[in-house]
């Protein structure tokens, strides 16, 4: 076994970058620490501008041949990558759980199968991607999608491989080459993806994986003049820095950022359903950008809703995410835990009441928390926490519910619980959000547009929207005249 290989729960993972079809080590490393117990999993190659330049050069060199590869062949390779993922679901699951602390059972049953589906969906969508030709004064218009070029994809730590492949799959399907930069807190499954892609026959340089800190390698990637697309999922402050870097080259951006999404519960809702939706917001220890962290409940049912919520939330099991019965695992990093607790303690000092939780537990675990008596303009209501912390406010009228729901700088998602279809139609039409769920939560289809409004993001991806972003969309207009009729 190489000195650059670590073993994670029996799975070998290479800690070097993957550039131009080869493993490349850096002079320096950074520690990768498991949130489960705080142990160091391994030392990871720490990239700088040098590795960034090498990865972009490799992607640029590989681009012409990959862009010229037929749609059918690209789709075949993407399906082969999906096959490789499915063969290694157990390995990918245990490595990612060790790396980011999310539930092992969720990885096995949902997340890693979704990784494979990401590749299959975009491979199949590529083969049916078309726009019907149309006529203009006898001239024919033909729309096509031309590969844009090397694409930098910067991904978060809360669902590392699933969110990475949500970007990688359409970028590759579109004919682009890719430089993937995973979050430094969770780099391991991206390294395994490089192995799987190579085994599936993806040509060298088409997918490159580089690791390191944003300030050291991320800036070098996003400011590179040969990069043609940048897709980022993460925080608003980081997105602003990326946009500044990209501005000099006018590099198109897709940004999926934070959220402070509401759950609106009306008096006519099925309260048991509403409570189930509410408790679901503790998924992944609250580290879900789409989570409805602000409960807005009609006054007449607020007391009963709260009682049922507290009872159901009390049935959750928090602990080691590798346990089959565990519902909530640890938070990702000590810095994130400090941030979460800081929000809660400042809110309580300002008058908020912790109905449940409100405190740390041993290690990197934070007790599931619900805060009431919070002001609309308070930090706890306005800012993304990214932990198992929810707030509850009440409203008297439908108009007030909509006003409170829209009264943040974010607009990623919203969830609505009501028994009246007419109300659902009225309210959803007024909500500022990229996705709205009515009497359900987290139902996602890859053919649907995904993205946020306001500070929750720029652009939409999914289905044809992904190809619109990763390609240069071209319209070719042909005159019926001028042919020389030479046959």
Which pLDDT value is given to residue 482?
Answer: 84
Residues 288 and 396 in one domain: yes
Same domain, 11 and 141: yes
67-115, pLDDT tens digit by residue? 999 999 999 999 999 999 999 999 999 999 999 999 999 999 999 999 9
HSE-up of residue 237 (Cα within 13 Å, Cβ side):
4
Task: Provide the pLDDT for residue 3.
Answer: 86
Whether 31 shows a pLDDT value over 90: the answer reads: yes
Regarding whether 286 and 215 lie in a shared domain, the answer is: no
- C-alpha 164/C-alpha 29 separation (Å) is 22
Q: Are strands 369-372 and 389-395 parallel, antiparallel or unpaired?
A: parallel
Can you tell me the mean pLDDT for 349-373?
A: 97
| pLDDT value for 106 | 96
Over the stretch 182-205, which tens digit does the pLDDT of each residue have? 999 999 999 999 999 999 999 999
Verify that 54 and 178 share a domain, yes or no.
yes
What's the CATH code of the domain at 227? 3.40.605.10
Same domain, 250 and 267: no
- Same domain assignment for residues 235 and 365: no
| Residue 183 resides in a domain | yes
Q: Could you tell me where the DSSP H helices lie in 30-159?
A: 49-68, 71-87, 89-100, 104-106, 112-128
Flag whether 374 is in a domain. Answer: yes
Query: 141 near 477, Cβ under 8 Å?
Result: yes
Q: Sorting pLDDT into bands at 50, 70 and 90, what band is 486?
A: low
Residue 46 makes CB contacts below 8 A (sequence gap 6+) with 26, 28, 29, 30, 211, 212, 213, 216
Question: Tokens for 483?
Answer: 């042919």
User: Active-site residue 440, yes or no?
Assistant: no
Res 484 pLDDT > 70: yes
Report whether 414 contacts 261 (CB < 8 A): yes
% residues pLDDT > 90 (the chain): 97
From the list 438, 439, 443, 462, the residue with the least C-alpha distance to 452 is: 462
Are residues 106 and 175 both part of a single domain?
A: yes
* pLDDT at residue 116 greater than cutoff 90: yes
- Average confidence (pLDDT) over 413-422: 97
- Residue holding tokens 């160091």? 40
Supply the pLDDT for residue 466.
Answer: 96
Mean pLDDT of all residues in the chain? 96
Residue 341 counted as domain residue: yes
Rounded Cα distance between 362 and 2, Å, is 36
Report pLDDT for 205. 98
Q: What is the mean pLDDT of residues 244-270?
A: 96
**For 51-57, what is the mean pLDDT?**
98
d(CA 168, CA 177): 9
Query: How many separate domains does the chain show?
Result: 2
- Answer yes or no: is 232 within a domain: yes
- Residue 390 is part of a domain; what is its CATH number? 3.40.309.10
Residue 1: its pLDDT value, please? Answer: 63
Q: Give a yes or no: residue 443 inside a domain.
A: no
Does the CA dihedral 82-87-92-94 come out positive or negative? Answer: positive
Q: What per-residue confidence (pLDDT) applies to 487? A: 52
DSSP per position, 298-310: EHHHHHHHHHHHH
- State the catalytic residue, choosing from 256, 298, 384, 461: 256
What average pLDDT does the segment 358-366 reach? Answer: 95
Handedness of CA 201, 203, 207, 209 (dihedral sign): positive
Range of the domain at 409: 262-438
Same structural domain, 369 and 418: yes
Would 483 be classed as within a structural domain? no
* Active-site residue, selected from the candidate residues 91, 289, 461, 471: 289
pLDDT band at residue 436 using 50, 70 and 90 as cut-offs: very high
Q: Are residues 253 and 270 in the same domain?
A: no
Do 158 and 178 fall into the same domain? yes
Report if residue 456 sits inside a domain: yes
Residues 6+ apart with CB under 8 A from 77: 172, 200, 201, 202
Q: What's the predicted TM-score (pTM) here? A: 0.95
Proportion of the chain above pLDDT 70, given as a percent: 99
123: in domain: yes
Residue 156 and residue 277 in one domain? no
**Known catalytic membership, residue 256:** yes
- Residues 251 and 274 placed together within one structural domain of the fold: no
Q: Give the model confidence (pLDDT) of 284-300 as tens digits.
A: 999 999 999 999 999 99
Q: What is residue 312's predicted lDDT score, i.e. its pLDDT?
A: 97
Mean pLDDT of 232-238: 94
């Amino acid at each position: 076994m190489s000195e650059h290989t670590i073993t994670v729960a029996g799975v070998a993972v290479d800690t070097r970058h993957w550039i131009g079809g080869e493993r490349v080590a850096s002079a320096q490393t950074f520690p990768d620490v498991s949130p489960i117990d705080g142990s160091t999993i391994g030392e990871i190659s720490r990239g700088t501008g040098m590795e960034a330049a090498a990865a972009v050069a490799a992607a640029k060199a590989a681009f012409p041949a990959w862009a010229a590869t037929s749609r059918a062949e690209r789709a075949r390779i993407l399906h082969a990558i999906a096959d490789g993922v499915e063969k290694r679901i157990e390995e990918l699951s245990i490595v990612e759980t060790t790396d980011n602390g999310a539930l092992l059972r969720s990885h096995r049953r949902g997340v890693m199968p979704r990784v494979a589906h990401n590749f299959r969906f975009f491979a199949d969508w590529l083969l049916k991607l078309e726009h019907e030709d149309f006529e203009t004064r006898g001239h024919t218009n033909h729309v096509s999608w031309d590969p844009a070029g090397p694409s930098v994809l910067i991904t978060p730590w809360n669902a590392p491989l699933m969110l990475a492949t949500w970007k990688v799959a359409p970028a590759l399907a579109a004919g682009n080459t890719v430089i993937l930069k995973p979050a430094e807190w969770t780099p391991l499954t991206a390294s395994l993806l490089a192995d799987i892609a190579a085994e599936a026959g993806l040509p060298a340089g088409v997918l490159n994986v580089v690791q390191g800190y944003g300030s050291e390698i991320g800036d070098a990637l996003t400011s590179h003049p040969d990069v043609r697309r940048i897709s980022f999922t993460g925080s608003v402050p980081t997105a602003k820095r990326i946009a500044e870097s990209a501005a000099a080259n006018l590099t198109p951006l897709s940004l999926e950022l934070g959220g402070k999404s509401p759950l609106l519960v009306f008096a006519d809702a099925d309260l048991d359903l509403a409570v189930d939706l509410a408790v679901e917001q503790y998924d992944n220890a609250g580290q879900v950008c789409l989570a409805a962290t602000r409960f807005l409940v009609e006054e007449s049912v607020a007391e009963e809703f709260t009682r049922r919520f507290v009872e159901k939330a009390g049935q959750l099991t928090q602990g080691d995410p590798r346990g089959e019965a565990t519902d909530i695992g640890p938070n990702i990093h000590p810095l994130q835990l400090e941030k979460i607790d800081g929000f809660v303690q400042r809110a309580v000092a300002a008058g908020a009441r912790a109905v449940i939780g409100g405190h740390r537990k041993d290690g990197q675990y934070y007790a599931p928390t619900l805060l009431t008596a919070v002001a609309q303009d308070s930090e706890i209501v306005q800012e993304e926490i990214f932990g198992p912390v929810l707030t509850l406010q009440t409203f008297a009228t439908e108009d007030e519910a909509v006003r409170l729901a829209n009264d943040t700088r974010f607009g990623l998602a919203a969830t609505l619980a009501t028994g009246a279809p007419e109300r659902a139609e009225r309210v959803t039409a007024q909500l500022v959000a990229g996705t709205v769920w009515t009497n359900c939560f987290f139902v996602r289809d890859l053919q649907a547009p995904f993205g946020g409004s306001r500070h929750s993001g720029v652009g939409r991806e999914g289905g044809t929207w992904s190809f619109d972003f990763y390609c240069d969309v071209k319209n070719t207009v042909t005159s019926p005249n001028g042919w020389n009729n030479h046959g």
